[in-house]
Each structure stands twice: as C-alpha cells, then as structure tokens.
Amino acid sequence: MSRSKENFRPRNEHVVKVFTCGPSTYRRPHIGNYRTFLYEDILVRYLTFKGYEVDRVINFTDVEDKTISEATDKKQKMKELTDDVAKHFHHETKLLKIKLPSRIPTSSTSVDQAVRLIKDLIEKGYAYWYNGDVFFEPKKFKDFGKLFHLDMSSWPEKNVRFKKDTYNGNRWNRGDFILWHGYKEGDIASWETEIGRGRPSWNIQDPAMITSTLGYEIDVNCGGIDNIYRHHDYNIAIIESLSGKAYANYYLHGEHLIVDGKKMSKSHGNILYPDELNDDGIRPDHLRFFLTATKHYRRKLNFTREQLRKRAGLLEEFRSTVSQLTKRSPAGKASDAEKDRRIAKIIDDIVPRFEKIMDDDLNLTAAFDAVNASTKEIAKETQGPLDRDQSERLIAALEKTDEVFGFLFR
C-alpha cells in the first residue's frame, strides 16, 4: 500500500494469515504463473523458518467467463475442463517442490458465501440490482483504488456498468463492476440461490473464498503484478465495505516472466509448461532455481534456454563443491587449530547471514550467492574434504537454508 518495504508485524504474534491468488483453471498455468507461485512458496517457507505458524489459502477459480467460453469452445463439461487443469497443477507443483496448503477452496464450492456477501453489500448500499444482475458501485467506497493509488477525479458521475468478468487490455474499467450474473437462457453454469438463479462473477469469487476460510482480516495478500490492476482493489473494496476494517496489512506482487524477450502468448508460440520442459530434459530443480534465484521476485525475468543452462551450471558447481567438502576425509589428516577456527566461523555464519539477507524482502538470489560464497571460502581454506564434525555441521547449516530454498540438494 505504501510502495515501500516495511517491518513485518503480523496481527497475531504466532500465526500469519496469507492469501495467495491461485490459478484460473480454464487453462493450464505456464512457467510465468509458476514464477508467482514459487515466490509465494518461498514466502511461506521463510515465515515458517522464522518460527511462525502460517495459515495459508490458495484458491482455484473454476467459474468465470473464460472458463465457460473455453468449455464451450472445446465442447467439454466445465468440471472436466477444470479438473484436468487442477490435475496438471498438482503434478507440476510437486515437480517444482511447491508446498500447497491443505485448504484449496474453489469458486464453484463457495457460491453460498458469495451470495451472503452480495446480500450484505446490497443491504449496506454498496451494491444494487440492474436488469437481473448485481453491480458494485466503487464511488460508494471511500478510498477506492487505494492499493493502485488510483486517481478517482476522472471517474464518471453517471453509473457506467461493466458486465463482463474481465476486459482484456483495459487497465481500469471506470464504472461499476459486476458481482452477480443473473441467469440467462442457455447459460451452462448457474445455481439456484437465495437471490435467484445465476452465478457469482469473478470479482466476488476471491472475497467469498477468502472470507469463508481466513476471515475478513489477514496479514499478507500475494499475486502477480497484473492483479494490482482492478482485481486486488476490487477485493479490498468488497471485503472492507463489509468489515469496516483493513483487509490486509502487506501486499506482494511478482513481476512478469518473459521468454526470449517476448511476452508469453499463443500468437508468439512461446508458452512453456514445467512438465513439458521436464520431458525436454530441463530438470525441475534447475527450473525452480532459475525462477526463484535469478532475479528478485519484483523484477522482470527473461527466460532463455542459454540463461537457464548457465544458472543450472552454477547450481551444479555449488553442489560439486559441497560434495567435495563433505566426502570422507583421509585417515590421519593433520589438524590446524587456527584454520579449523576460521572454517567453524564460516559455517556458523551461514544461517545468520542467509537470514539477514532474506529479511530484506525475500532476496533469495543474494541469499544463495552468500551461501555459495561461504562454501567456496571453506573450500579455499581447507583445500580438501572437511573432517567429520565440520562436514556434519556444514550439511546441517545448508539443510537449514534449504528448508526455504528447496533446490540445494537433489
């Protein structure tokens, strides 16, 4: 909200509530989407590393205009389409060692909550019926667009209504956004509810899933940079209109991944998926390393096979150094007390140094570089394998950092 780094202070001293936008299951997530899911995975791992209990929710958006359109085009039942995408997601998150929470709510199973929210919004005067649909009126919510820092001075005085879930290419729809699609003849997705037959719009689905699992007040809200246009401000407006309290205290947005200097798109023919890259000989641990430890999550990252090869080489070089340091040392190796003290200090500093760097907005790239530099420094000191005690302590330190990295060891 402040566009600056701030000290993290959760609402609860021990438990951190985190919401991370999950996939829209009308189409498979590509490696750009997984870059977002990976920095969120690092966040959750690091909060756990710091001693917090993390109450995290990731969601599946399985009922929206795009899903209906995709299912219609493919002449496929919506559930078959979304189940297939969800299956790919679970498979690929395992490949990339992304830890998923036990709760993954879906739009289709949160309709009742969406209806409850809509009824309350209408009652409070933030939403209204129009031609069988329900719309939210942003002008009624104080500080609408505060996350984006939106200038509301040019907002139209008359009510302009946007009926679609999303409008491609539009950064902002300056008008009222839809919450409920009333049933129309031929609709393939609808529910009979307290407010009539229809379906919740995309704009109300996240608030429904968030409030039914985490409540109305959380600590951290995450997503990709695209979410800063409309989507997250819509969530804020809906939830805070109902609670009267701040929804989230911290917002993280991951930057885009591009491929060979171009945006990933069907027209460019450059959409890449983790399991297809795996089948093509690109290992998941190398891909995880590239997507998390090449550039900071808030900086744009360009994927090329050559750059991936270089980064993978760096990781393998690190692993080779660790392997050489920790293999069984020769019997009768002479001890050098001063050198042993220097090595002990380097090993003892690995975790604190890692933690200090990671505390600076999850700077995973710099954190890996520091760990890598420590192993090289040890190798330079010892000119051979470590003794058994040193080796065990080094492995323990590296395993501790790998609780967050997830790629140091195969």
Report whether pLDDT(68) > 70: yes
* Dihedral, 383, 389, 393, 394 alpha carbons, nearest 10: 20
Give just the sign of the alpha carbon dihedral 197, 198, 203, 204: positive
Sign, CA dihedral 278-282-286-287, equals negative
Position 91 scores a pLDDT of 96
Reported as a single tens digit per residue, the pLDDT across 79-106 is 999 999 999 999 999 999 999 999 899 9
Q: Are strands 133-136 and 176-182 parallel, antiparallel or unpaired?
A: antiparallel
Whole-model pTM: value is 0.95
Sequence ranges of the domains in the chain: 15-254, 305-405
Alpha-carbon distance of 172 to 151, in angstroms, equals 11
State which CATH number among 3.40.50.2300, 3.40.50.620, 3.90.480.20, 3.30.565.10 fits the domain covering 15-254. 3.40.50.620
Q: Which residue has the tokens 């996939």?
A: 23
Mean pLDDT of 9-38: 96
Write down the pLDDT at residue 171.
80
On whether the CB atoms of residues 209 and 105 are closer than 8 A, the answer is: yes
Residue 204 φ/ψ region, left for φ over 0, alpha for ψ in the -120 to 50 degree band, beta for the rest: alpha
For range 25-40, the mean pLDDT: 97
Q: Report pLDDT for 334.
A: 61
**Overall average pLDDT of the 45-69 stretch:** 96
pLDDT of 332: 54
Over the stretch 364-409, which tens digit does the pLDDT of each residue have?
A: 999 999 999 999 999 999 988 999 999 999 999 999 999 999 999 9
Percent of the chain with pLDDT over 90: 93
Q: Please, what is the average pLDDT of the chain?
A: 95
Q: What are phi and psi of 139, to 5 degrees?
A: -60, -20
Distances from the Cα of 44 to the Cαs of 18, 40, 375, in angstroms?
8, 6, 26
pLDDT in tens, 302-342: 999 999 999 999 999 999 999 999 997 765 566 789 999 99
